[in-house]
């Protein structure tokens, strides 16, 4: 229970208006998810301010509000308490509550395995004491008050995880909870990105050890070099105990450890005494340290060691932490989807290596590990290398874990056993392709933000088991720090489904070439290429050798056609990398042929005919002569012939003339003794307009991305845009009437106006002249651009938008609430095409 007047007093708060309820059952952080008698806490973090959601929380039935600034909405019948800082207030409340109820605190710290330890310790203490487990799944200070809500005077102990999210937080945490017992699990030097280096991270953890009072207890992992070195950081007189697996130097250690697929068995040596074999239903050696710590704490709290050992045989697995589930077709499914530090991912792999037996296929499904900053790339590579030691198949999901897949291939893993994807849907279809059986063991692991539990859910044999998966708290929505001021979000599921829809509209003998030139129209070439290939495309089209090489470097093996120019000097490289070139001129064909003299086999080319586009290509009238000549070039393999339409989006008649000319142009091919595999012509509008344009391969670009070629050639049903472009409000300012805004003072405020400054400008592709966007979206409302767009910034008018603050999300392209801005609308504003809108978002804007 949370008493309003407790917080009022201890946090030096101030009531706003008449209070209504004064007792609350829980804190509420998500205005969309309000329970009975809850207190909404408005939080200000570097990611935004939930003050703006107070009104929504009230509408959803909140009983009280804790905030910093006075709310601007109607608060009748709701208690509103204002404090200097909401998180500080909650910490003071935590401190007060622990003191008042006289409950002892046990704090568990370290890089991984904290939740399992909290669980084991709680379980053992319950032999004799009322104990509360504080297993709240968020890092940082807030986890403390959230853990203490259900604390009562009946409790003797509370076991908390302390995970400082930024340097310095540990001090505040210690002050709030005053722990008597500390358990230090391990220290992973691949630390969170918010810490400068391993030393800073280690020092932060060590603060807790120093804070333990002389009548307290510190338990340290003896097998971890970093933690062992910290045993001297405690105050004089504090009892320090070490736990270990197999090391005689430790005070308490497990030996004869038997790692099984369902449980772990061990003998125990405690202060020189030996206790025999116990099994505990936990998975992974790394979780054994938590059990050993629990036994030590039991002894400290006068619980018999045999009793403690016995209760450890009854542990239940925690959701998402090496939880054993039954998967489809009876496969063994290990759900480790709760979170992924480097250490916990490594430990999960070590476990898998140890338990799998011959004849069993091991499959690793890996999402990006949690925010590791500069360590991330190396960490992901190392995981891939480790996996390649024994794993049979790797399926990755996301940009970072793609590096793990790549590293596994570089370490010798068969490329066809590594699948790189960017969406849940593609992971699931890759798993389907593996035709899982009882002989398979699938480990699903990934960071908080990758939501790998969705994959686990799709793999369950028994749908009811879905209740055993980790729940995604709303707080995790957007945990990425904003290194760049604006970003592009790619909906890989939308992309996958667009490709499938295109595929469904093609006859069986028509192949699909996904055109991914210009970094896949600004969507990210590698991601798009892989997703398209995974969903029905067979061929890729690019504009240059550089683009083709980028795809090969990423490990993509599918055929690639360079649609524009490749210099003759690159012909040998093209052959070596199996890249197909375009021949649009005989002199160029001669050069290619000459360069290809020294290769074994032939250089693959497609011939391009000009049937009225008036750009690259051989005229139809010259085709016969050209074919005869090409036939004499022995080092070229003519794999295809194509043409390009100039007006397929608007003039169907002209297009049909081009089709006829093309048919005429290719007729003499056979006579010249040339048999091509592919004949193709259709870009996006031509693909949609008429199956007569398809020949036996189509080359759509635009529609892959859910963009509409023209009103005359509307997208097929259910196709949807893939790209959104977003930023955040940088500053909100109130201007008096007549104040100039931006370079050249082209706009003056017309009354008291609120203006929001956004960190996006023409250098990002947010065009300045002659026209720019009419408006962007904030809080689901239109905010018109005012003044000139600068290189890095622009200004929007937000006078009419309530409670707007720095950090609020802004949509430049995409959906927000009921409003949306499409690439087509922007094209209209800029007097250009949707093609140009998306390709102008420059690559320095990161793709997520
Ligand atoms: C870009 C391009 C395409 C794809 O055009 P969309 O209109 O985006 O479908 C197809 N063929 C060639 C030769 C291209 O250059």
**DSSP codes joined into one string, 782-841:** EEEEES---SS-EEEE-TTSTT--TT-EEEEEEEETTEEE-HHHHHHHHTS-HHHHHHTS
Cα of 563 vs centre of ligand 1, distance in Å, is 9
Phi, psi for 69 (deg, rounded to 5):
-100, 155
- Of ligand 1's listed atoms, the one at least distance from the Cα of 649 is 7
Give per-residue pLDDT as tens, 358-399. Answer: 889 999 999 999 878 788 899 999 999 999 999 999 999 988
Instruction: Name the percent of the chain lying above pLDDT 70.
Output: 97
Q: How far is ligand 1, taken at its centre, from the CA of residue 542, in Å?
A: 9
Decide if pLDDT at 50 tops 90.
no
CA 681 – ligand 1 centroid, Å: 9
Q: How far apart, in whole angstroms, are the C-alpha atoms of residue 619 and residue 611? A: 7
Distance CA 96, CA 2 (A): 11
Kindly report, residue by residue over 62-90, the tens digit of the pLDDT. Answer: 999 999 999 999 999 999 999 999 999 99
Measured CA to CA in angstroms, residue 763 lies from 767, 791, 842, 848 at distances of 8, 5, 8, 19
Q: What is the pLDDT of residue 173?
A: 97
Give, for ligand 1, the residue of 539, 541, 548, 584 to mutate: max count of ligand atoms closer than 8 Å to Cβ.
Answer: 541
Strand pairing class (539-542; 560-562): parallel
**What percentage of the chain has pLDDT greater than the value 90?**
77
Residue 508 has pLDDT above 90, yes or no: yes
Task: Report the pLDDT averaged over residues 175-201.
Answer: 91
Closest atom of ligand 1 to 703 CA is 9
Integer CA distances (angstroms), 810 to 70, 120, 760, 805, in order = 24, 45, 11, 11
Region of poorest pLDDT, from 216-225, 275-284, 641-650, 651-660: 275-284
Return the best residue to mutate from 580, 683, 700, 827 for the ligand 1 pocket (most ligand atoms within 8 A of CB).
Answer: 683
Residue 317 has a pLDDT of: 81
* Distance, CA of 165 to CA of 84 (rounded, Å): 21
Q: Atom of ligand 1 at shortest distance to CA of 684?
A: 9
Sign (positive or negative) of CA dihedral 777, 778, 782, 784: negative
CA dist., res. 170 & res. 164, Å (int): 6
Position of tokens 């002209």?
A: 654
Q: Does position 448 have pLDDT exceeding 90, yes or no?
A: no
Cα–Cα distance measured from residue 472 to residue 449, given in angstroms and rounded to the nearest whole number: 9
What are the residues facing 107 on neighbouring strands?
160, 182
Query: Are 14 and 87 contacting, i.e. CB atoms less than 8 angstroms apart?
Result: no
DSSP, collapsed to helix, strand or coil, labels residue 38 as: strand
Beta bridge partners of 217: 181, 239
747 a catalytic residue: no
In contact, 230 and 209? CB cutoff 8 Å? yes
CA distances to 273, 581, 665, 717 from 613, rounded to whole Å, are 88, 20, 14, 29
Q: In what order do the strands lie in the sheet containing 361-367?
A: 323-326, 332-336, 440-445, 361-367, 393-397, 418-421
Q: Give me the residues paired with residue 254 across strands.
A: 245, 268
Q: What residues does 45 pair with on adjacent strands?
A: 48
pLDDT at 795 (0 to 100): 97
* Reduced 3-state DSSP string for 660-691: HHHHHHHHHHHHCCCCCCEEEEECHHHHHHCH
* Band of residue 635 on the pLDDT scale cut at 50, 70, 90: very high
Instruction: Give yes or no: 743 in active site.
Output: yes
Which residue out of 515, 562, 565 has the highest number of ligand 1 atoms within 8 Å of its CB and is therefore the one to mutate?
515
Do residues 620 and 661 lie in contact, with contact meaning Cβ atoms separated by under 8 Å? yes
Position in ligand 1 atom list of the atom nearest CA 644: 13
Give the pocket of ligand 1 (CB within 6 Å).
515, 517, 563, 644, 683-684, 699-702
- Please identify which of the residues 114, 517, 604, 793 carries the catalytic annotation: 517
How far apart CA 375 and CA 257 sit, in angstroms, is 32
- Tell how far the Cα of 694 is from the centroid of ligand 1, in angstroms: 13
What does DSSP assign to residue 590?
H
Tell me how far the alpha carbon of residue 847 lies from the centroid of ligand 1, in angstroms: 22
* Interval between CA 685 and ligand 1 midpoint (Å): 10
Note the pLDDT of residue 120. 95
Kindly report the protein residue whose alpha carbon is nearest to atom 15 of ligand 1: 563
């Amino acid at each position: 229970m949370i008493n309003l007047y407790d917080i009022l007093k201890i946090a030096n708060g101030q009531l706003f208006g008449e209070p209504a309820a004064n007792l609350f059952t829980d804190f509420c952080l998500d205005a969309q998810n309000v329970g009975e008698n809850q207190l909404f806490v408005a939080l200000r973090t570097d990611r935004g301010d939930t003050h703006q959601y107070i009104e929504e929380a009230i509408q959803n039935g909140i009983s009280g509000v804790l905030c910093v600034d006075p709310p601007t909405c109607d608060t009748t019948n709701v208690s509103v308490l204002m404090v200097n800082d909401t998180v500080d207030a909650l910490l003071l409340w935590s401190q007060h509550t622990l003191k008042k109820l006289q409950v002892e605190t046990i704090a568990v710290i370290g890089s991984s395995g904290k939740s399992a330890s909290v669980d084991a310790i709680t379980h053992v203490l319950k032999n004799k004491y009322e104990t509360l487990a504080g297993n709240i799944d968020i890092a940082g200070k807030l986890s403390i008050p959230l853990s203490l809500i259900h604390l009562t005077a009946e409790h003797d102990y509370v076991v908390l995880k302390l995970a400082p999210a930024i340097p310095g937080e540990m001090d505040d945490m210690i002050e709030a909870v005053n722990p008597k017992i500390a358990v230090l699990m391990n220290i992973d030097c691949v630390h969170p990105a918010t810490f400068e280096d391993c030393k800073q991270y280690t020092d932060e953890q060590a603060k807790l050890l120093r804070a333990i009072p002389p009548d307290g207890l510190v338990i340290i992992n003896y097998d971890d070099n970093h933690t062992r070195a910290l045993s001297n950081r405690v105050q004089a007189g504090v009892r320090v105990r070490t736990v270990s697996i197999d090391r005689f130097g430790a005070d308490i250690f497990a030996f004869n450890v038997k790692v099984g697929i369902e449980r772990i068995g061990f003998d125990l040596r405690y202060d020189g005494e030996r206790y025999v074999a116990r099994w505990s239903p936990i998975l992974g050696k790394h979780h054994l340290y938590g059990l050993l710590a629990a036994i030590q704490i039991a002894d400290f709290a006068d619980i018999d060691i045999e009793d403690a050992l016995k209760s450890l045989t009854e542990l239940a697995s925690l959701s998402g932490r090496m939880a054993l589930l039954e998967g489809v077709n009876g496969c063994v499914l290990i759900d480790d989807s709760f979170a992924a530090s480097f250490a916990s991912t490594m430990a999960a792999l070590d476990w898998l290596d140890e338990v799998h037996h011959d004849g069993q296929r091991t499959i690793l499904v890996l999402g990006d590990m949690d925010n590791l900053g500069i360590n991330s790339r190396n960490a992901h590579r190392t995981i891939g290398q480790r996996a390649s030691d024994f794993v049979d198949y790797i399926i990755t999901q996301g940009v970072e874990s793609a590096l793990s897949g790549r590293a596994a291939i570089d370490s010798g893993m068969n490329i066809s056993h590594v699948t790189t994807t960017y969406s849940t849907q593609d992971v699931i279809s890759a798993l389907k392709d593996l035709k899982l059986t009882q002989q398979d063991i699938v480990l699903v692991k990934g960071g908080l933000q990758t939501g790998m539990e969705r994959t686990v859910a799709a793999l369950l044999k028994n749908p009811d088991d879905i209740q055993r998966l980790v729940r995604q708290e709303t707080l995790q929505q957007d945990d990425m720090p904003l290194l760049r001021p604006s970003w592009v979000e790619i909906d890989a599921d939308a992309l996958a489904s667009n490709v499938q829809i295109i595929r469904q509209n093609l006859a069986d003998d028509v192949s699909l070439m996904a055109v991914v030139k210009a970094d896949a129209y600004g969507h990210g070439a590698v991601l798009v290429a892989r997703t398209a290939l995974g969903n029905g495309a067979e061929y890729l089209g690019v504009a240059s050798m550089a683009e083709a090489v980028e795809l090969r470097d990423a490990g993509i093996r599918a055929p690639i056609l360079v649609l524009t120019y490749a210099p003759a000097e690159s012909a040998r490289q093209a052959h070596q990398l199996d890249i197909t070139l375009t021949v649009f001129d005989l002199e160029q064909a001669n050069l290619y042929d000459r360069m290809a003299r020294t290769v074994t086999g032939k250089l693959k080319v497609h011939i391009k005919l000009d049937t009225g586009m008036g750009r690259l290509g051989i005229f139809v009238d010259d085709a016969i002569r050209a074919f005869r000549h090409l036939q004499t070039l022995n080092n070229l393999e003519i794999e295809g012939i194509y043409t390009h339409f100039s007006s397929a989006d608007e003039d169907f008649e002209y297009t049909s003339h081009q089709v006829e000319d093309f048919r005429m142009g290719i007729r003499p091919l056979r006579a010249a003794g040339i048999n091509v595999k592919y004949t193709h012509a259709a870009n996006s509008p031509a693909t949609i307009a008429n199956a007569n344009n398809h020949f036996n391969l189509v080359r759509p670009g635009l529609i892959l991305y859910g963009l509409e070629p023209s009103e005359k050639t509307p997208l097929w049903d259910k196709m949807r845009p893939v790209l959104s472009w977003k930023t955040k409000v940088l500053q909100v300012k109130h201007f008096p009437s007549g104040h100039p805004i931006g370079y050249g003072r082209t706009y003056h405020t017309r009354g008291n106006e609120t203006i929001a400054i956004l960190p996006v400008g023409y250098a990002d592709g947010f065009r300045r002249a002659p026209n720019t966007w009419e408006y962007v979206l904030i809080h689901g409302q239109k905010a018109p651009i005012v003044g000139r767009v600068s290189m890095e910034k622009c200004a929007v008018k937000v006078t009419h938008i309530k409670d707007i603050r720095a950090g609020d999300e802004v949509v430049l392209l995409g959906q927000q609430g009921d409003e949306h801005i499409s690439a087509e609308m922007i094209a209209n504003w800029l007097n250009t095409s949707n093609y140009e809108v998306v390709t102008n978002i420059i690559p320095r804007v990161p793709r997520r």
